Amino acid sequence: MKYTPRALIAEITHRCPLHCVYCSNPLEMQRRSAELPTESWISIFHQARELGVLQLHLTGGEPLSRPDLTELVGAGRKANLYLNLITSGVGLDGPRLDELIEAGLDHIQLSFQDSEEASANEFAGTRSHALKVRLAALIRERRIAFTINVVIHRRNIGRLEEMIAFAEHSGAQRLEIAHVQYYGWALRNRDALLPTREQLDRTVETVEAARERLKGRLRIEFVMPDYYARFPKPCMNGWGHQQMVIDPSGRVLPCHAAMVIPGLEFLSARNHPLRSIWEDSPVFNRFRDESWMPEPCRSCDRRTRDFGGCRCQAFLLAGDAAATDPVCTLAPTHTIVEEALQHINGSSDRTWVYRIDPR
Amino acid sequence: MSELAPSSVLRLAPGCRLNDAGGAEDLILIPEGALRLKGPGRAIVELCDGRRATREIVEELKRRYSSADAVRIETEVGALLARLRDRGVLEAV
């Protein structure tokens, strides 16, 4: 097998106390009753390590919503995986944090919605900001790697400097400035969320200055949002190349949005060995090599770097998962993105819609 | 990249650890992925135990690789440790 998975993204639940307007989880979420039990996850972790996976990212939804989280962390460590918790922090306190660290948690990534409380709570659709600020202090007091993640968009991008200053004083080692990914619920709210070109230009300057100033103290991860880039993002570093996602019910996906693509039969880790899904399933092989590529990808020098971009985005925007990602300036369907950008850059305030939690 | 003082004492930063020894590759696992260690990289990082000074690590490696050029060991070890420190993988104690 040419490809070795390095990371397993385990979405252990879709339940979440936050209702972020930019949630990129699928529109159709898994209910609590469909969630994999503890022992199935533990078996999955061992199979994943066996396949070559190094890192386990526990995410959701809100992973803290699962009462067996500590057990899962311990089991992942026992399987020799690097344990990363991606969390909103809601459901965490000092004792539970100690328990998780004791069980072997390596790294915690805490999300923030803004630097300003009222806006943060508005975007999250819940009052969680003050709690997150308190949690950051608790994390800093302990010896664990700490990343702050902030999702930026049209309505908060103007406060990026304040967000960076907050991260600087929070004791985090890393700050991830993430753009909204326009899948799932977020795509519905895209026109209210995508920043304008002018906003982005200022952001790039802010980030560059902050990186220089904070060198050696805070690492800042930032990439241009793909709508404004010339070429697409190397989505998942290639379909079925390095990563796999398992949803709360056990379905194994090449990326977490892949369910939107019609005609793919996603197998479940409940009744198939992970290795056979990774190596042999039609889903993982569908866009793995270059044989699916249309022109201009097929003869493009960049095809080994960006793999034709994102298959889900190609389907969502162009209606064809096997098309060149429309964000690519070379794509025949790029006008779709240009029109969206024209629309967004020429308009004023728009409203969004909140999502509700699965039962 | 700033120079590393011979007296500085380093250890792996929180969230950074070596993979299990004896595998196909030597890696430092870090929050955003893994860094591959080449040649004696693993042994060098293992010596960063929060007690030994960089100077002692260099001496130890000179003993272990007595047939290798001592100046080269000093330069290469210093460069690797400074790089890992700048990357946030090693921290000063």
SS3 per-residue string spanning chain A: CCCCCCEEEEECCCCCCCCCCCCCCCCCCCCHHHCCCHHHHHHHHHHHHHHCCCEEEEECCCHHHCCCHHHHHHHHHHCCCEEEEEECCCCCCHHHHHHHHHHCCCEEEEEECCCCHHHHHHHHCCCCHHHHHHHHHHHHCCCCEEEEEEEECCCCHHHHHHHHHHHHHHCCCEEEEEECCCCHHHHHCHHHHCCCHHHHHHHHHHHHHHHHHCCCCCEEEECCCHHHCCCCCCHHHCCCCCEEEECCCCEEECCCCHHHCCCCCCCECCCCCHHHHHHHCHHHHHCCCCCCCCCCCCCCCCHHHHCCCCHHHHHHHHCCCCCCCCCCCCCCCHHHHHHHHHHHHCCCCCCCCCCCCCC
Burial B63-74 (b: 16+ CB within 10 A, else e): eeeeeeeeeebb
- Write the pLDDT tens digit of every residue in A213-259: 999 899 999 988 899 999 999 999 999 999 999 999 999 999 989 99
Measured CB to CB, residues of chain B less than 8 Å from chain A are 13-17, 19-20, 27, 29-34, 86, 88
What pLDDT does residue A354 have? Answer: 72
What CA–CA distances, in Å, run from A101 to A24, A223, B33?
A: 28, 30, 19
Is A55–B13 a contact, with Cβ atoms under 8 angstroms apart? no
Is B15–A55 a contact, with Cβ atoms under 8 angstroms apart? no
Is B15–A144 a contact, with Cβ atoms under 8 angstroms apart? yes
What CA–CA distances, in Å, run from A79 to A18, A49, A55, A275, B46?
A: 31, 7, 11, 16, 22
Query: How far off is chain A from B50, nearest CA to CA, in Å?
Result: 15
- Write the pLDDT tens digit of every residue in A98-148: 999 999 999 999 999 999 999 999 999 999 999 999 999 999 999 999 999
Could you count the other beta carbons within 10 Å of the beta carbon of residue A346?
8
| Rounded Cα distance, A33 and A28, in Å | 14
Structure tokens at A351: 């409203």
Kindly identify which residue of chain B lies nearest to residue A172, measuring between CA atoms. Answer: B14
| Rounded Cα distance, B66 and B60, in Å | 10
| Rounded Cα distance, A249 and A15, in Å | 12
Give me the mean pLDDT over the A154-167 stretch: 96
- Write the pLDDT tens digit of every residue in B9-56: 999 999 999 998 888 899 999 998 999 999 899 999 999 999 999 999
Is A106–B29 a contact, with Cβ atoms under 8 angstroms apart? yes
pLDDT exceeds cutoff 70 at A350: no
When pLDDT is cut at 50, 70 and 90, the band that residue A348 belongs to is: low
Residues of B in contact with A109 (CB under 8 A): 31
Query: How far off is chain A from B71, nearest CA to CA, in Å?
Result: 28
- Write the pLDDT tens digit of every residue in A329-347: 999 999 999 999 998 888 6
Kindly identify which residue of chain B lies nearest to residue A143, measuring between CA atoms. Answer: B14
Identity of the residue in A55, A174, A219 whose CB atom sits nearest the CB atom of B29: A55
**Residue A142: closest CA among A107, A177, A191:** A107
Adjacent-strand bridge partners of A78: none
Residues of B in contact with A106 (CB under 8 A): 15, 17, 29, 31
Classify B15 as helix, strand or coil. coil
When pLDDT is cut at 50, 70 and 90, the band that residue A25 belongs to is: confident
Residues of A in contact with B29 (CB under 8 A): 54-55, 82, 106
pTM for the model: 0.93
- Write the pLDDT tens digit of every residue in A248-297: 999 999 998 999 999 999 999 999 999 999 999 999 999 999 999 999 99
Is A82–B17 a contact, with Cβ atoms under 8 angstroms apart? yes
When pLDDT is cut at 50, 70 and 90, the band that residue A309 belongs to is: very high
Identity of the residue in B17, B19, B88 whose CB atom sits nearest the CB atom of A219: B88
Residues of A in contact with B15 (CB under 8 A): 106-107, 144-146, 173
What CA–CA distances, in Å, run from A138 to A110, A133, A141, A176?
A: 12, 9, 5, 20
What pLDDT does residue A359 have? Answer: 60
**Residue A78: closest CA among A43, A113, A115, A114:** A43
Inter-chain Cβ pairs, chain A and chain B, closer than 8 A = 46
Identity of the residue in A6, A80, A174 whose CB atom sits nearest the CB atom of B31: A174
Could you count the other beta carbons within 10 Å of the beta carbon of residue A268?
15
Query: How far off is chain B from A311, nearest CA to CA, in Å?
Result: 23
